[in-house]
Amino acid sequence: MKKFMTIISLMLFSLLVLTACGQSPDKTTGEKTSQNSGAGAVEAKGVLLMSTTTSTQDTGLLDYLAPIFLKDTGWKLQWTAVGTGQALKMGQDGNVDIVLCHAKASEEAFVDKGYGVKRYPVMFNDFVVVGPAQPIAANKDIHTVFDQINSQQLPFISRGDDSGTDKAERAIWASLKIDPKTNANYMKSGQGMGDTLAMASEKKAYCFTDRGTWLKIKNDSTVKIDLDIICEGDALLKNQYGVIAVNPQKYPKVNNQAANDFINWICSDRVQKLIAQYGVDKYGQALFTPNAGTNS
Amino acid sequence: MDIINEAMRIFTDAGIGDAVRVTLAMALASVTISALLGIALGILLEQCHFPGKRILIRINHTLLGIPPVVVGLLVYLLLMRNGPLGAFALLFTIKGMVLAQIIIITPIITSMVYSYAFTTAPAVRAFAVTMGASKWQTQILTIKEMKYEIYFAIVTGFGRAISEVGSVMLVGGNIEGRTRTMTTAISMLKSQGIYTEGVTLGVLLLVFAFILQWAAESFQKRELENENY
């Protein structure tokens, strides 16, 4: 067990600090982060800067789409993945050319206030509630599950960071007319979905997550995630993504041509089919369902 | 009045009051324990002579430069439910954060106390011996002689404790009202695109830093004055 080796050396290491006369080899750990960038030999036109939500990055969808976009149109897609709240804020400040996120009401307000040109639906995935197998039995009805969590005061970890997922979760509590704060074990992590899921697993708590991040974390985490899907398939759990070009009349410097190319490209039949295939080989199911051109 | 109301709203809405409370509780607990350990270790290290002492000092100096986020990761692995200390359920609690902070701060206090003891303690000991002091009296005299330097080390440790982000985020988990500190709150608010509350917290931290700096400086000043006699 590699983990145990780490932990044994770690204990020696802390002992060293706590005792006056101990000896142990020094140990350091390095960290590496790798960043993504599309590569291609097609005539490059420039950069399209996007602000998007963590889920499109964490699921690897953008890494999958960016090289194809570069090949097809010559624009190099660069993105910054943050919560929906900040993604829209970046568009509102004119710092990006295009916004891809999932909070329909906020997106429509963004367009209404003149910061965006028009909102186009792109695809959807769904939210699920995950948690320990006991004491709530898996159930299709989100109302029953949330009601039980609240009435039995079960631990629940919410993002609490105003992200698209957080907004969706709060909208569901509100539509069920339950105040989650009446549960003493309702906690807010203020962190990303992956961190929050790891925390829920550690605390044996329930958690509201998008399916894409859930599948990826469950599949890829080094430490076993001790949670299962408790609720899925309810109509309230649909998670719609939309794409909006930042208004060039408000911010003349934005790359509106590239933004429009991206919208036409991602809504095209061919790319919609690519989205429908994404993740099937790795996770056994598609992570997103394309629905451009619908009224979602 | 509006400004005061607005300030009060911000203070309660974002849980800033809680963040201040958590920060101070964590910093006080970790500095108290680190100071006890660090002072004892620093003085012992100066007095004991044993093989490997130089390596130990070198390791302590290395620990001064250890990235806090690495300490956070190691403590996280240690406290995980399936980890060696998982049974104590310390992950995502203030106690867990204090443990990480102790690992970061103790080497700082140890090395400050050690380096000062290294220059002053021999003379103090020689003096105590000529006065016929007992072993304990000598120890107490040594500590008394170094008290301003020890205050300074504690203040430095406290400054480190309130400004820590990385390890506290990992081990504490930034849970609102429980383990959310001022620094992790700032980092989270920034990621949400909310700057007002972040700046409020930042200003508060600056005020704390100023008070600490002022306290540290006045200790040093008194020390200088004492030396002039």
Shared domain for A183 and A263, answered yes or no, is: no
Neighbours of A224 (CB within 10 A): 9
A187 to chain B, any CB pair closer than 8 A? The answer is yes
Shared domain for A141 and A121, answered yes or no, is: no
Shared domain for A111 and A202, answered yes or no, is: no
Shared domain for A216 and A115, answered yes or no, is: no
Neighbours of B138 (CB within 10 A): 18
Neighbours of B221 (CB within 10 A): 11
Among A195, A218, A237, residue at a domain's last position: A237
Please indicate, yes or no, if residue A146 is contained in any of the structural domains. Answer: yes
Please indicate, yes or no, if residue A15 is contained in any of the structural domains. Answer: no
Q: Report pLDDT for A208.
A: 96
A14 to chain B, any CB pair closer than 8 A? The answer is yes
Shared domain for A278 and A138, answered yes or no, is: no
Residue A58, domain extent: 46-125+240-290
Closest Cα in chain B to A92: B193
Structural domains for chain B:
2-222 (1.10.3720.10)
Q: What whole-number percentage of chain B has pLDDT above 70?
A: 92
Shared domain for A115 and A101, answered yes or no, is: yes
Please indicate, yes or no, if residue A6 is contained in any of the structural domains. Answer: no
Among A200, A219, A237, residue at a domain's last position: A237
Shared domain for A155 and A216, answered yes or no, is: yes
Report pLDDT digits (tens) over A79-94. 988 888 889 998 998 9
Q: Report pLDDT for B10.
A: 62
Shared domain for A131 and A233, answered yes or no, is: yes
Return the closest-CA partner of residue A23 out of B107, B104, B52, B74.
B52
Which residues, numbered 60 to 89 in chain A, qualify as contacts with chain B under a Cβ-Cβ cut-off of 8 Å? 82-83, 85-86, 88-89
Say which range, A10-14, A203-207, B78-82, B174-178, has the weakest mean pLDDT.
A10-14
Please indicate, yes or no, if residue A296 is contained in any of the structural domains. Answer: no
A161 to chain B, any CB pair closer than 8 A? The answer is yes
What CA–CA distance (Å, rounded) separates A229 from A258? 39
Question: Which residue has better confidence, A19 or A147?
Answer: A147
pLDDT above 90 (res A204): yes
Chain B neighbors of A202, CB-CB under 8 A: 80-81, 91-92
Report pLDDT digits (tens) over A18-69. 443 333 333 333 333 333 444 444 577 899 999 998 888 878 899 999 999 9
Shared domain for A54 and A72, answered yes or no, is: yes
Residue A112 contacts by C-beta under 8 Å, 6 or more apart in sequence?
Answer: none
Report pLDDT digits (tens) over B215-226. 878 877 776 676
Please indicate, yes or no, if residue A266 is contained in any of the structural domains. Answer: yes
Contact between chains at A191 and B70 (C-beta distance less than 8 A): no
Which amino acid makes up residue A32? K
pLDDT above 50 (res A1): no
Q: Are A80 and A90 in contact (CB under 8 A)?
A: yes
A31 to chain B, any CB pair closer than 8 A? The answer is yes
Which amino acid makes up residue B46? E
- Which two structure tokens, joined as six digits, stand for B215? 């306290």
Residue B156 contacts by C-beta under 8 Å, 6 or more apart in sequence?
Answer: B108, B109, B112, B216
Shared domain for A251 and A113, answered yes or no, is: yes
**Planar angle of CA A175, A178, A182, nearest 5 degrees:** 155
Rounded to whole angstroms, the maximal C-alpha distance in chain A is 71
Report pLDDT digits (tens) over A237-282. 988 999 999 999 999 999 999 999 999 999 999 999 999 999 888 8
If you search the block for the tokens 């060696």, which residue do you land on? B84
What CATH number does residue A186 fall under? 3.40.190.10
Chain B neighbors of A83, CB-CB under 8 A: 191-193
What CA–CA distance (Å, rounded) separates A235 from A238? 6
Shared domain for A114 and A248, answered yes or no, is: yes
- Which two structure tokens, joined as six digits, stand for A28? 């350091």
Q: How many domains does chain A have?
A: 2
- Per-residue confidence at B131, pLDDT binned at 50, 70, 90? confident
Q: Report pLDDT for A6.
A: 56
DSSP annotation of A139:
B
Chain B neighbors of A88, CB-CB under 8 A: 193
Distance from the Cα of B70 to chain A's closest Cα (Å) equals 7
Q: Report pLDDT for A144.
A: 92
Report pLDDT digits (tens) over B43-74. 999 988 889 899 999 999 999 989 999 999 99
Q: Which residues pair with A130 in a beta bridge?
A: A207, A229
- Mean pLDDT estimate for chain A: 84
Rounded to whole angstroms, the maximal C-alpha distance in chain B is 69
Q: Which among B48, B92, B191 is the nearest to A20, CB-wise?
A: B48
What's the full length of chain A, in residues?
Answer: 296
Shared domain for A168 and A182, answered yes or no, is: yes
Please indicate, yes or no, if residue A5 is contained in any of the structural domains. Answer: no
A15 to chain B, any CB pair closer than 8 A? The answer is no
Q: Report pLDDT for A56.
A: 87
